[in-house]
Amino acid sequence: MKNLLVVEALRKTFTMHHFHGKDIVGCEDIHLSLPQGRFIGLTGESGAGKSTILKCIYRTYTPTEGTVLFDSDQLGPIDLAKATDREILAIRKREIGYVSQFLNVMPRVTALEVVTDAILDMEEGPGTAKEKAKEMLAYFKLPSLLWDSFPRTFSGGEKLRLNLAQAMAKRPKLLLLDEPTASLDDASKQLVKEMILLLKNSGTSMIGIFHDLDFMETVADEHYHLSHGSLKKIANRHGYKAELVK
């Protein structure tokens, strides 16, 4: 099966300028490959570097070392670690989605506009985009009273549901999910699960960080565990086996 994403020898360090230039290691020696249409579940102790890996792939963080090879429709095979900001923006707009509990939207843009704009990036017409955005917000049960409000004051669960609606409405090639069920009730978790499976069936590849292992097992094809600086592939759909991925 063709790989959509191959991460090799990824390392991210943060220099603490206010602390005598000391370096903090976010993640190091990370190797993983994601075949097209597959879902990798990522677990590990707090602070092990899970979010840092996703942020390096999305290029919120610029990797310190290593390669992040992505098979882009627009730009061909490209190393996201070294891509220009312009290339990253083009890829984020059309091909890679990112979901977390934290919202990163422009001030004074309503929830409905956030999702509509995301769909417009995929070059849908304005009328269709707005209708699709409403469908997604309704799907994730964001109360319609909030659709014309500014998301800054939303609760954690509301922000997460808006992020899910925004990222999933685009049906990206690659979706990065940082705790996509944190602070959601069981009914909302079920909606997230069904949408993940729907996107997976239509070809979206995903990497998701989970603390809820039961949920993860219902959606992930492979399970990687990050511990003491190494990433281990510990399970797949056809049975558990331990394998050091290096």
Ligand X SMILES: Nc1ncnc2c1ncn2[C@@H]1O[C@H](COP(=O)(O)OP(=O)(O)OP(=O)(O)O)[C@@H](O)[C@H]1O
When binding is defined by CB under 6 A, the residue of 4, 5, 10, 26 that contacts ligand X is 26
Q: According to the binding rule CB under 6 A, does residue 180 interact with ligand X? A: no
Q: According to the binding rule CB under 6 A, does residue 49 interact with ligand X? A: yes
Alpha carbon 206 to chain centroid, angstroms: 7
- Tell me which stretch binds ligand X (CB under 6 A): 29-37, 43-51, 123-131, 153-161: 43-51
Binding mask 115-144 for ligand X (x = CB under 6 A): ------------------------------
Tokens coding 97: 């989605």
Tokens coding 11: 């390392």
Q: According to the binding rule CB under 6 A, does residue 50 interact with ligand X? A: yes
Q: According to the binding rule CB under 6 A, does residue 208 interact with ligand X? A: no
Longest dimension (CA), the chain: 55
HSE, side-chain direction, 13 A CA sphere, residue 196: 26
Q: According to the binding rule CB under 6 A, does residue 30 interact with ligand X? A: no
Backbone dihedral angles phi then psi of residue 29, each to the nearest 5 degrees: 55, 45
Q: Which helix (H) or strand (E) element contains residue 130?
A: helix 126-139
Residues 6+ apart with CB under 8 A from 1: 35, 36, 37, 38
Backbone dihedral angles phi then psi of residue 121, each to the nearest 5 degrees: -60, -25
Closest approach of Cβ 150 to ligand X, in Å?
Answer: 26
Q: According to the binding rule CB under 6 A, does residue 104 interact with ligand X? A: no
Q: According to the binding rule CB under 6 A, does residue 41 interact with ligand X? A: no
Provide the binding-site residues for ligand X, judged by CB under 6 A: 14, 24, 26, 44, 46-52
